[in-house]
Structure formats: C-alpha cells, structure tokens
Amino acid sequence: MTQQKILLYQFEDCPFCEKVRKKLREKNLEFEKVEVPRDRNSEIIKDLFKKSGVLTVPVIKIGGKFIGESKDIIDYLDENF
C-alpha cells in the first residue's frame, strides 16, 4: 500500500509539534515538515485556518484532509494507522 503524503505544518521548537512528530515516527509514517511563519497575518496561516479551523500549529495534511490541534492529530493517527 502506498502511503499518502503527509505534510506537517509546524514550528521546529513547538512542544505540541514535537508530540506529533514523535507519534508519526512511532507509526513509521514518512512526513514532510513545513515551517510556518509565526505571523498570524501571514497568508499560509490564514490558508491553514480556512482549511483546518485552527490558528495554531501543528496542522497535518493527509489525503487532502487538514487536521489541527495536536490531540486531534494524534487521535486521528491512532485510529487510522
């Protein structure tokens, strides 16, 4: 089975992002990190908010679906992988 591409929108020094990176590694899921600007007015943050409903990182994109909030992401990974 080919793995869906996973993008993790994050800050490298964010503890919630680290929890998600740890869970992705634990599940042996390959992912690409996308460092986002810390400016809430940036276009990437506005776009992520429209797609995920959250203004914070982490957000993952998997199979065309955007999921925000570390707990929700981890729950999704546990339920689906």
10-residue mean pLDDT series, the chain (81 residues): 84 97 97 94 93 95 96 97 94
Its pTM stands at: 0.93
Residue 1 lies in a domain: no
How many Cβ atoms sit within 10 Å of the Cβ of residue 22?
11
Angle at 25 between CA 54 and CA 42, to 5 degrees: 30
CATH number for 54: 3.40.30.10
Q: Cβ distance 45 to 36 under 8 Å? A: yes
| Confidence at residue 1, expressed as pLDDT on a 0 to 100 scale | 47
d(CA 10, CA 27): 19
Say if 54 falls within a structural domain. Answer: yes
Contact between 58 and 17 under an 8 Å Cβ cutoff? The reply is: yes
Instruction: Pinpoint the alpha helices (H) of 2-80.
Output: 15-26, 43-52, 70-80
- Which residue segment(s) compose the domain that 23 sits in? 6-80
Instruction: Name the domain count of the chain.
Output: 1
Q: Is 36 helix (H, G, I), strand (E, B) or coil?
A: coil
The pLDDT of residue 2 is 55
Q: Which residue type, as a one-letter code, is found at position 69? A: E
